[in-house]
Structure 1
Amino acid sequence: MKKFMLLLAGIMLSGQVMAATDAKDPEDPWEGFNRKVFVFNDTVDTYAFKPVAKGYKAITPDPVERGISRMFSNVGEVVNILNDLLQGKFKQAGNDTGRLVINTTIGLVGFFDVADNMGLPKNDGEDFGQTLGFYGVNSGPYVVIPFFGPSTMRDAPSRIVDRLVNPINEVDHVPTRNTIYGVELLSTRADLLEAEKFIRGDRYTFIRDAYLQRRKFLLNDRLVEDDFGGDYEEF
């Protein structure tokens, strides 16, 4: 979360966020359509998701809120491990497997990040979209998905693969499974509230550029060339 917030600040300071112009961005050829979906998503978020997330954040003690966020992050290690292996990142797969085992047991299903204190740091994560990119599949045009937000033509269908691998999907009781997904969505939205303070200018352009730069950062194994020709491994 901290890295994401710093990324947004970096985009703002480097001058990469500009008001939308008539010239089409080659990465966003469907901007007209995407903006309509963005307005729809933003409206739903403003009147539904955001107020609930603010309420959740207000009544939930910070340690509990962070613990719940870590629990869902721990579940996500399964997706990380699969994509680590598919990309041949065996050392990272070992790290993420160790994190999953330790935090699921000693860390009470991930509520506490015990593994980090044992020398197994959390990675930025791997997903199937990154795996496809690793094997040379182009990202394709930027697209905004109703309810789900920013994506690309490569990353959008890849979410289905990641969701099928997610252990939550194995919960047989449908109401329980849907409740877990609902809490996960709520926790994720609450985590993003703090990041909104960095948004400047045209919201659509800012979020699009932040998403695309973040994906490039992940696909290049955390190496991003800045405007001055330097390589940064972390933000």
Structure 2
Amino acid sequence: MSQRSIWRSLVLLSLALLLGGCASLRGPGGPGQKLDPWESWNRKVFSFNDKLDEHVLVPVSTAYSELVPAPVRQGIDNVFGNVNDAWSAVNLVLQGRLRASVEQGMRFAVNTVLGFGGILDISTEVGLEKKSEDLGKTFGRWGFGTGAYIVWPLFGPSSVRDTVAMPADWSASPSLVFREGSAKVAIYSLQTINTRANFLRASQMLEGIALDKYTFYRDAYLQRRGSFSDDEEFEVLTPDKPEPDPPAQSGP
């Protein structure tokens, strides 16, 4: 991403947050009631995304998890996570958290060199804790509120602040190393399917407990993105670790 594009994103951020009101997440009434002025439109987009997930992503991800061995799926997950560690280290520097940035840099270096490009997560085994950061969180550390809640077609839940940060976050994705458009689409598709496969069981559990999926996802997203303390931040849906493939049945 060029310097000119970065500055353009920062200018857009300032304008968007001013227009969005930079409302605070905290206060009576819950985050959703304060930060969802476009709820009617958001619900329509959410319904579209939910149907797409049900009829496309879930079947594809289910087939993927059944066909691809668990160690391979875990290795792919580790590679994408390793790239994220490098971007997290950059954002931790921007947040002024230098010690955490060094740790994330070490995670990236160790896993890249000793973990065969990140296929193996050696760093976790030696106690280097993973801290996932992005530009949206960095803007939050700088004092910018989330702004209004937005649901984008295909991309899902976001906010004014996180939407403005999207171009920079995308520029740090694994597909960045490829110049050809077809390769970028292939890598992005693999990342999407692999991630969705990790959440299959968690999303099935959610189906049985959430009375209103839209409200659940909205409030969970705003709570998670509005918390910038490592002790406070939480993941509402925990990705499933790829289960080991069952041992082959021996003949009688």
**TM-score, with length taken from structure 1:** 0.80
Match status 1:206 vs 2:206: no
- The answer to whether the Cα contact below 8 Å between 1:78 and 1:166 also exists between their aligned partners in 2 is no
Deviation at 1:101, TM superposition (A): 0.8
Q: 2:75 aligns with which of 67, 82, 104?
A: 67
- Aligned partners of 1:223, 1:49: CA distance in 2, in Å? 31
- The answer to whether the Cα contact below 8 Å between 2:80 and 2:174 also exists between their aligned partners in 1 is no
Match status 1:221 vs 2:251: no
- The answer to whether the Cα contact below 8 Å between 2:175 and 2:183 also exists between their aligned partners in 1 is no
SS, match of residue 144 in structure 1: strand
Write out per-residue CA displacement over residues 89-141 of structure 1, whole angstroms, 9 at most, x where no aligned residue: 11111111111111111111111110111221212x11100111111111111
Match status 1:131 vs 2:143: no
Q: Give the ranges of 4+ consecutive aligned residues of structure 1 lying more than 4 Å apart after TM superposition.
A: none
Aligned residue type for 1:30: W
For 1:104-183, list aligned pairs within 5 A: 104-123=112-131, 125-183=132-190
- Aligned partners of 1:221, 1:139: CA distance in 2, in Å? 18
- Aligned partners of 2:172, 2:118: CA distance in 1, in Å? 18
- Aligned partners of 1:98, 1:189: CA distance in 2, in Å? 28
- The answer to whether the Cα contact below 8 Å between 1:84 and 1:90 also exists between their aligned partners in 2 is yes
Higher gyration radius (CA) = 2
Aligned residue type for 1:223: E
Which ranges of structure 1 fall in alignment gaps of 5 or more residues? 1-23, 225-235
Aligned residue type for 2:215: T
Which ranges of structure 2 fall in alignment gaps of 5 or more residues? 1-31, 234-252
| Superposition RMSD in Å | 1.7
Identity of aligned residues (%): 38
- The answer to whether the Cα contact below 8 Å between 1:103 and 1:112 also exists between their aligned partners in 2 is yes
Aligned residue type for 2:115: G
SS, match of residue 143 in structure 1: strand
Deviation at 1:148, TM superposition (A): 0.5
**TM-score, with length taken from structure 2:** 0.75
- The answer to whether the Cα contact below 8 Å between 1:87 and 1:134 also exists between their aligned partners in 2 is yes
The corresponding residue for 1:30 is: 38
Write out per-residue CA displacement over residues 124-173 of structure 1, whole angstroms, 9 at most, x where no aligned residue: x1110011111111111111011010111101121111111335313223
